[in-house]
Amino acid sequence: MEDVIVNRVANSGLLSIDLEEYLPKDEIKPFDLKDYLFRGLILKEKEFREALKNIDWEQYRNQYVAITCSTDAIIPMWAYMLVVSYVQPIARDVFTGTPDEMHKFIFLKNIASINTGTYTGQRVIIKGCGDHPIDPAAYAEITRILRPVAKSIMYGEACSNVPIYKKK
């Protein structure tokens, strides 16, 4: 009689989610307002408006754009709005904040867009190890969206997991 190797993990009915699949893959281009400040501190409306008119906005076509200011200057709210009015028709998406903050925002948005119907009544394991560091907010977000529908949620690997939630 032959020994048959049975993959109990594959037969367990667990659905696995690898959060790395939801990481933003495209570059995020910063638009730094500091480049338009007088003496690095003051935004002058007339000069700022003129400078925006002269920018080649095509460089932002289909790009993620993070509007930020890398100096400690007080920027009027309308300045962000004005930049968005120029870049939004060209860019893939626009965000006010640093590129790292935009990366996190897109990542959480990607996770929030998961079709939870696939996981209704299922046992779900959220992969714990990978090639890229995953922000704790991503684990919180996936738990938030799956808890109402999943039968159970676990963290880690199928052979070694931490139970997170089990429907009673």
Residue range 13-35, pLDDT digits in tens: 899 999 999 999 999 999 999 99
Phi-psi region of 156 (alpha: psi -120 to 50; beta: other; left: phi over 0): left
> Beta strands of 19-168 (E only): which ranges?
28-32, 64-68, 93-96, 123-127, 152-157, 160-166
The average pLDDT across 103-129 equals: 94
What is the spatial distance between Cα 117 and Cα 40, in angstroms, rounded to a whole number?
51
Residue 90 has pLDDT above 60, yes or no: yes
CA distances from 30 to 48, 142, 154 (A): 17, 28, 37
Contact 131, 21 (CB under 8 A): no
| Mean pLDDT taken over the chain | 91
Q: What pLDDT is recorded for position 12?
A: 62
User: Domain map of the chain by residue range?
Assistant: 10-24+104-166, 28-91
| pLDDT above 60 (res 5) | no
Please state whether the predicted TM-score (pTM) of the whole model is above 0.85.
no
